[in-house]
């Protein structure tokens, strides 16, 4: 099952988040597609 998640990017104390589409068993940081 696919889920929409937020993947954290950026520097320490200056994060920004990207919406990603990923398999529910994998972490948001690995193997994703940008939404």
pLDDT of residue 10: 95
Q: Using CA atoms, how far apart are residues 2 and 23, in angstroms rounded to an integer?
A: 5
pTM: 0.62
Q: What is the pLDDT of residues 1-35, one digit of tens each?
A: 988 989 899 999 999 999 988 888 888 777 777 77
Decide: 7 and 20 in contact? Cβ < 8 Å: yes
Domain-wise residue ranges, the chain: 2-34
pLDDT of residue 11: 96
pLDDT of residue 34: 74
């Amino acid at each position: 099952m696919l889920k929409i998640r937020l993947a954290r990017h950026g520097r320490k104390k200056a994060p920004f988040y990207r919406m990603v589409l990923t398999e529910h068993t994998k972490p948001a940081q690995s193997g994703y597609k940008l939404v």
